[in-house]
Amino acid sequence: MQNVLKGKVALVTGGSRGLGAAIAEALAHQGADVAISYVASADKANLIVEKLKAKGVRAIAVQSDQADLSAAKPLIEAVVAHFGKLDILVNNAAIAVQGQTVDAPDLDTLNLDRQWQINVMGAVATTRAAAPVLSNGGRIIFIGSLMGSRVPFPGAADYAGTKAAIAGYARGVARDLGGRNITVNVVQPGVMPTDMATAVLGEGGAPDWLLDQHPIRRIATLEEVAATVCYLAGPNAGYITGSSIDMAGGMGV
C-alpha cells in the first residue's frame, strides 16, 4: 500500500498532535505531500513536519485557529500556494468540553459555545474554503465521533451535538460535490489514547464500565483510525461517499 497516494496533496487540520499527527504520518507513509495546521504549538508542529519530510514527502505547518472563521480561506490559500493544489482535506481539528449536564447551575456556556464554533462552524468554514479548489476526484474526510450517534454517559450533550451536526453536514456536502467525483465521509472513533480523552476520563484511561460496552474490549489505537482515514483517501474508496464509519470496537451495536 505504500505510495498509493504519491502525487496527492493533503491538509490535516489540527495535525500537530494526537490523532491529527497520526493521520498526517500515515498519509505521508503512503506518499502524499502533507500540510498540517496548528493553533499555538509551533515547536510540536515543526517536529511533525520533520517526521513527514523524513518519509520523503513535502510537508509544511500553517498556523491557523479554527475558532476564527476568517482564517479558513487564508489556510487553504497557503496550502495551494505552496503545493500548487489540494486533493485531500481531513477536517480533524476539534475540542471536547464535557462533564457538565445541561441543567448544571454553573454550566460553562462560554466554552460550550466555543466548542460549537470550532467543531462545527470552523470545519464548515474550512470545507467551504476548500471545496472550490479541491481537485476533481478529491477527498474530504471529517473526524467525527461515535457520540454523534450514541451518547453512553451524561455530560456530553453539546459535544455529541457537534459531531451529529458534522455527520449531517458531510452527507450534504457529499451530495453537492458528487458531480465532481469528490467523496465526503466521516470517520467516527470511540475512545482513543489522546490528550482529549485524558482530559475527559483522567489518567487511568477508559474505565471498566465503558470498556464493558465494547464487544472488542479495548480502545482504538491512533494507527487504526489513521489507517481508515487513509483508506478513504485512497483510490479504492472512490465509490464510498456520504457515509459515517464507526471505529469504536462495536460500541454502537
Active site residues: 159
DSSP 107: -
Q: CA-to-CA distance for 225 and 184, rounded, in angstroms?
A: 17
At residue 24, the 3 state secondary structure works out as helix
Angle, helix 123-130 to helix 72-83, in steps of 10 degrees = 40
C-alpha cell at 20: 491529527
Identify the sign of the CA torsion 68, 73, 74, 76: positive
Distance of CA 181 to the CA centre of its chain: 21
At residue 250, the 3 state secondary structure works out as coil
Q: CA-to-CA distance for 150 and 145, rounded, in angstroms?
A: 9
At residue 134, the 3 state secondary structure works out as strand
Q: Where are the alpha helices (DSSP H) in the chain?
A: 18-29, 42-53, 72-83, 109-116, 123-130, 157-177, 195-201, 208-211, 222-233
Amino acid present at 122: G
Residues 126 and 144: beta-carbon distance below 8 Å? no
Q: Where are the alpha helices (DSSP H) in 178-221?
A: 195-201, 208-211
Amino acid present at 42: A
